[in-house]
Chain A
Amino acid sequence: MTDRQLRATIGLLALAGTALAAYLVFVHYSGRPITCSFGGCETVHRSKYSEVLGVPVALLGLGAYVAILALSLWCSEAARAAGLAIALSGVLFGAYLLYAQVVVIEALCEWCLLSDALLSVIAALSLLRLLTKGAPAPPGVPARART
């Protein structure tokens, strides 16, 4: 994949994550019931693990996705590294929350699982982006098209 393709994919995934997290923030503050297929979302949403020092986890997620989205538009080594750091941090914290869902709360929130999956893919693509800077552009593509 070229760096442009990697950035576009990361950007799209971050956009999807932003929409997901924005919905969960809305649910958190509006008090409306959460849409859920399997019935565990409300239990997780009401658990003590849904906040970190009074800040909704959904709001932290929203901030992370927006930051990743912004960094995907920025082409520099530092931006690649920052994007990877944020995504990886989200994956690790998500793993802790998944443990809490399974072992402590004994309920699973499908929105959280979807976010975990999104962050994992973003982290993998961000690592690829940082390690390879993307594959060289195909022959014939002007140098300025490479980003």
Chain B
Amino acid sequence: MRTRSLYVAAAAAVALLGATVLVLASLLGSSDSSATPARTASAGTSALFTGIPQHAATLGRPTAPVTLVEYADLQCPYCGLWARQQLPSIVDQLVRSGRLQIRFHGLAFVGPDSQTALAGAIAAGRQNRLWDFVDLMYQSQETENAGWVDPVLDDTASAAQLDMDRWTSDRRSGSLVDEIDRLSAGAAAAGVHSTPSFGLARTGEPPKLLDTHDLDATSLRGLIDQLAPR
């Protein structure tokens, strides 16, 4: 009996030690956010959007009754936070089910790198993979204007499974500059003064700006149900 008690005690001690090591390793890994390069995140990004139609800057079925417009700058920290914390649930619960489509309305006001990043996103949109690219950029996001965009750009495009030659050519084309200007003017006309901002409307109607910068799946579901009752 004493031997059994010793075995139980030893098992409990080993279990406690093992669990402690795992928790510490998890905390250590999770505190080092920079250790999440684009390639590591690519599987998760791909999984999030797999099976959901993408067309240019729009994610979701064209038949979705409601459209959310996300006004964002790829360098904006709160945009990155929203994309990492809220977007997965929204895509899981509302886009995948066909209730919602989301249009990415990119802006480039934080700094010159914002324009570089946005050009990359629009060029990815020409291959209908803008959402993969944008999500991966947010996974790699660091401090604004700290020079993180250029070093991760090619890896991000590659992880988003883009045709690299076409993407490189597209993102340097002059037409993108005009498109970025159009996006900027469109946001100003919509009354967007900060990012992330969100506009919501029945699909096909002009979006109305929402009075929130931290939209979550639960509140968005309520708004969708109001706009398009089942």
**A137 within 8 Å of B by Cβ?**
no
Task: Judge if A46 is at the interface, Cβ distance under 8 Å.
Answer: yes
Which residues in A have some Cβ–Cβ distance to B below 8 Å?
27-34, 36, 39-43, 45-46, 48-54, 60, 77-78, 80-82, 84-89, 91-93, 96, 107, 127, 130-131, 133
Does the CB pair A84–B11 fall under 8 Å? yes
User: Are B15 and A84 in contact (CB-based, < 8 A)?
Assistant: yes
* Assembled-state Cα–Cα distance A55/B170 (Å): 36
Task: Considering the complex, give the chain B residue whose CB is closest to the CB of A80.
Answer: B7
In the assembled complex, the CB of B88 is this many whole angstroms from the nearest CB of chain A, namely 4
B26: contacting residue among A31, A43, A49, CB under 8 A: A49
Are B7 and A53 in contact, with the CB atoms below 8 A? no
The 7 closest A-B pairs by CB, nearest first: A92-B19, A88-B15, A31-B46, A89-B18, A85-B14, A46-B44, A84-B11
CB of A79 to closest CB in B, whole Å: 10
Closest to B88 in A: A43
A46 surroundings in chain B (CB, below 8 A): 44-45, 47-48, 88
Q: Which residues from B are CB-within-8-Å of A28?
A: 43
Instruction: Identify the closest chain A residue to B93 (Cβ).
Output: A39
Which residues of A sit under 8 angstroms from B8, Cβ to Cβ?
Answer: 81, 84, 127, 130-131
Interface string of B19-35 (1 = CB under 8 A from A): 10011011011100101
Apart from the given pairs A31-B44, A130-B11, 15 other A-B contacts in the complex at a CB distance below 8 Å: A31-B42, A31-B46, A33-B47, A41-B92, A42-B89, A43-B88, A48-B30, A54-B35, A54-B40, A78-B7, A81-B8, A85-B12, A88-B11, A96-B22, A107-B88
| A34 CB contacts on chain B under 8 angstroms | 47
Instruction: Annotate B130-160 by CB proximity to A: 1 below 8 A, 0 otherwise.
Output: 0000000000000000000000000000000
Residues in B102-127 with C-beta less than 8 Å from chain A: none
Which partner residue on chain B sits nearest A50 by CB separation? B44
Given contacts A46-B48, A54-B40, A89-B19, contact A39 B29 (CB under 8 A): no
A48 with B43: in contact, given A32-B50, A33-B51, A96-B26 (CB under 8 Å)? no
Among B10, B40, B47, the residue within 8 A (CB) of A81 is B10
**B50 contact set on A, CB distance < 8 A:** 31-33
Residue of B nearest to A107 (CB): B89
25 A-B pairs within 8 Å (CB atoms) are namely: A31-B44, A31-B46, A32-B47, A36-B92, A39-B93, A42-B88, A43-B89, A48-B33, A49-B26, A54-B29, A77-B4, A81-B11, A82-B11, A84-B15, A85-B11, A85-B18, A86-B15, A86-B18, A88-B11, A88-B12, A89-B16, A89-B19, A93-B18, A93-B22, A107-B89
